[in-house]
Every structure is written in C-alpha cells, then in structure tokens.
Amino acid sequence: MAAVREVFEETGQQVHLGRRLIMTSYPIDQGVKKVYYWTARRIGGEFVPGSEVDDLVWLPIADAMQRLDYAQDRKVLRRFAKQPANTKTVLVVRHGTAGSKSRFSGDDTRRPLDKKGRAQAEALVGQLLAFGATSVYAADRLRCHQTVQPLAEELGVIIHNERALTEEAYAKNPKRGRHRVLRIAAQPGTPVICTQGRVIPDLIAWWCERDGVRPDKSRNHKGSTWVLSLSGGRLIAADHIGGALAANVRA
C-alpha cells in the first residue's frame, strides 16, 4: 500500500498499518486526490536523512502536537490520540470473483475463482502484508481458499478450514460463526479470515453494535477487506478498503 511505501521511501522505516485515521482531499489536474492516513507500528528499518526528511524523532503526543505547524497535521494526531495506540488487527476478506453460480454445473462448494478473482487473490498479498498478516483462515469453499492461497504461500503457513463461516452454516447458526471469529481474533498475531458475502455484513454489524463502533459505509465488493482494530478484546474501529486489484498494490 502507498502508506507503507511512502514511509519507507521517506524515512527508511518498515511499518505495519493499523486503524485508519482520516481522509483528506485536494484538487489536482486530473481531478481530486484523496489521501488516507493510518496508524502504523515500526517493525524495523534504519533512518537516513534525505531531501524530504532530514531528522527522525520519537515524541510524546503532547510534545509532537506543539511541533506541528499545519492544522491538518494536528487533526491527524488528535484522531490518533482518541484511541489506544496498542491495538490488534483482524482482517476479514470477501472472496474474489468466481463467475456465475447459475452457469457453474458442478458442486457449488467447488466453484473456483475466475481470471479476475485469481488476479484479486494475487493483489491481496501486498495489501494484507501491509497490515502484518500472520495466519490464514478460510470458509469451507474452494473460492475462499483460493483467494488467500497466494498469501498463505507467501507466509509459508497453512489455511485453516472454517466450516462455521460458510453462508449456509452462518445462516443456520450465526452465534457459532461469531464465536469462532472471536476465538480466531484472540489468537496471537494478525489473522486473515476469508469468507462470503452473506456472512460479512452481519458479522461486522453485530460486532460493531456489541462494542459501540460505527463501521465504514461499504458495498462489500468481492476481493475487498475489513480492517478490524481491537484493544483489550474489544473492537474500536472497523475500516473498509476496496479490492486491492484496483490499487495495483503488488506492482
């Protein structure tokens, strides 16, 4: 993602992203440019002064606020300070495109990704790694497994098969599906959970209502991702990002 790339290019710091802070926009020749700000955790790197950044310092929030000249930068920092800095991330992905159910003659549980869906799966790798993905879970459908297969191969991990997170199982017993997701979220690291379009909206709505969070407005397209941020086991932010393919994040 651009945020990870920009931080590394300008500061030499390697980071994993967390929750989204704010979006700003301004006019350019081609239209309007939108810039999204995210929290980030340093995981490595070495700072070397350059033409754009000549110094790197770590400061308490109050001291950092006094150093900022622009109102927009202070707004970003204030948004950051409203929530705990130390958060856990859970990534919920809707599987990529898999053709038409009505045109597939075989067992629908084995319906594979189509050409676009396979491209989405490849593009998701960089996007999910930007948030520090460490483990992979998928609903018991071939298209869900194929969506996160490139990520699992990149990480060198297995894909955990989740029967409770198919549309049919979730509709029959949503409590079981929700409980399973909470158990996954309680594990160390940053899990990626790939499931289906009729599971995700209810899951996100339930979780947000339970913990008093206002989720992003989203059309929940195939290949898109929910970035869920937790603190102390409670959800504090639910941010949606569109399909990685459009952003070409793995170029």
Task: Report, as an integer, the average pLDDT of 144-155.
Answer: 98
Q: Is the pLDDT of residue 251 over 70?
A: no
Beta bridge partners of 195: 94
Size (the chain), residues: 251
Residue 245 confidence class, pLDDT cut points 50, 70, 90? low
Q: Are 200 and 153 in contact (CB under 8 A)?
A: no
In the CATH hierarchy, which fold is given to the domain comprising 88-247?
Rossmann fold (3.40.50)
| Nearest residue to 200 (alpha-carbon basis) of 234, 235, 229, 174 | 174
Helix (H) or strand (E) holding 79: helix 71-81
* Helices 200-211 + 174-185 axis angle, to 10: 70
Give the mean pLDDT of 226-246: 90
- Indicate whether 159 pLDDT > 70: yes
Taking the C-alpha atoms of residue 144 and residue 167, their distance in angstroms, rounded to an integer, is 11
Structure confidence at residue 102 (pLDDT): 66
On whether the CB atoms of residues 140 and 199 are closer than 8 A, the answer is no
Mean pLDDT of the chain: 93
Return the domain boundaries, the chain: 2-81, 88-247
The string of pLDDT tens digits covering residues 86-128 is 999 999 999 999 987 767 677 778 899 999 999 999 999 999 9
Q: Which of 160, 156, 149, 202 is CA-nearest to residue 183?
A: 160
Q: What is the Cα–Cα distance from 72 to 77, expressed in whole angstroms?
A: 9
Pick the CATH number of 2-81 from 2.40.10.10, 3.90.79.10, 3.40.50.300, 1.20.1270.10: 3.90.79.10
pTM of the entire structure?
Answer: 0.93
Q: Would you state the pLDDT for residue 250? A: 33
Residue 249: pLDDT band by 50, 70, 90 thresholds? Answer: very low
**pLDDT at residue 51 in the model:** 86
Share of the chain above pLDDT 70, in %: 96
Q: Which residue has the higher pLDDT, 243 or 203?
A: 203
Report how far residue 7's alpha carbon sits from residue 250's, in angstroms, rounded to the nearest whole number. Answer: 17
pLDDT tens for each residue of 12-39? 999 999 999 999 888 999 899 989 999 9
pLDDT digits (tens, 9 = 90+) for 204-213: 999 999 999 9
Percent of the chain at pLDDT above 90?
83
What lies within 8 Å, CB to CB, of 18 at 6+ separation is: 38, 39, 40, 41, 87, 89, 131, 227, 229
Q: Is the pLDDT of residue 248 over 60?
A: no
- The arithmetic mean of pLDDT across residues 31-52, rounded, is 92
